[in-house]
């Protein structure tokens, strides 16, 4: 059985939860896998920090909390500081490189950075930042199929924004393939 634990972290408004949902849905759309997304709201949810835990598995998931993330997708420094210590020693760390500077990395961790904010500004509105990150994540991790994620993006973004978000996805994906 193969199970992958992923943590998504950033600031409210960056679309980090939608990014997690798209990856979770993509895993089930064509890949015939199971996925869960769990979001915890504690009293700290009053601040602007925002995170989601996604598990992808070949089997039904009995315990949906991520305890040792193998992949982190991080869009704020605060999320990085908070979640990096829990990640496995050889975790894949995916960051928006202009917003996040990972400190105290373990030696086997692999860090992949993308200037997604700048790329978003080139394409149009900044709200597509999360979808650029999803494209980059898809290229770097290869844990969900390219076509599945594309379909999950298309069916998850607000009506009327599909074309723009497809471009954002492709931009992040190609950036990730160039360096991955």
Nearest-5° angle of CA 45, CA 47, CA 50?
60
Is residue 110 a contact point for a second copy (CB under 8 A)?
A: no
Sole binder of a second copy in the list 89, 103, 107, 158 (CB under 8 A): 158
Sole binder of a second copy in the list 11, 49, 64, 177 (CB under 8 A): 64
Show the binding pattern over residues 8-47: x = contacts a second copy (CB under 8 A), - = does not: ----x----x---x--xx-xxx--xxxxxxxxxxxxxxx-
The phi, psi pair for 50, rounded to 5°, reads -150, 130
Is residue 155 a contact point for a second copy (CB under 8 A)?
A: yes
Q: Which helix (H) or strand (E) holds 7?
A: strand 3-11
d(CA 42, CA 54): 18
Listed residue (127, 139, 110, 109) closest to 168, CA to CA: 127
For a second copy, the closer CB: 46 or 103: 46
Is residue 67 a contact point for a second copy (CB under 8 A)?
A: no
Least CB distance to a second copy at residue 168 (A)? 17
Count residues binding a second copy (CB under 8 A).
30
d(CA 37, CA 83): 17
**β-strand pairing of 49-57 with 92-96:** unpaired
Is residue 2 a contact point for a second copy (CB under 8 A)?
A: no
Question: In the complex, which residues of this chain contact a second copy (CB under 8 A)?
Answer: 12, 17, 21, 24-25, 27-29, 32-46, 60-61, 63-65, 155, 158
């Amino acid at each position: 059985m193969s199970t992958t634990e992923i943590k998504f972290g950033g600031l409210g408004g960056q679309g980090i939860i939608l990014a997690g949902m798209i990856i979770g849905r993509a895993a089930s759309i064509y890949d015939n896998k199971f996925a869960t997304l769990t979001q915890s709201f504690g009293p700290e949810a009053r601040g602007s920090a925002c995170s989601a835990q996604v598990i992808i598995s070949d089997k039904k998931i009995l315990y949906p909390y991520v305890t040792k993330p193998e992949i982190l997708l991080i869009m704020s420094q605060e999320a990085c500081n908070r979640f990096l210590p829990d990640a496995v020693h050889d975790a894949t760390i995916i960051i928006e490189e202009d917003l996040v500077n990972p400190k105290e990395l373990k030696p086997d961790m692999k860090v992949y950075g993308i200037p997604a904010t700048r790329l978003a500004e080139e394409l149009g509105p900044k709200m597509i930042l999360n979808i650029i990150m999803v494209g980059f994540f898809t290229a770097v991790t290869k844990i969900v199929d390219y076509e599945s994620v594309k379909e999950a993006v298309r069916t998850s973004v607000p009506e009327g924004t599909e074309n723009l978000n497809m471009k954002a996805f492709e931009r992040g994906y190609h950036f990730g393939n160039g360096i991955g």
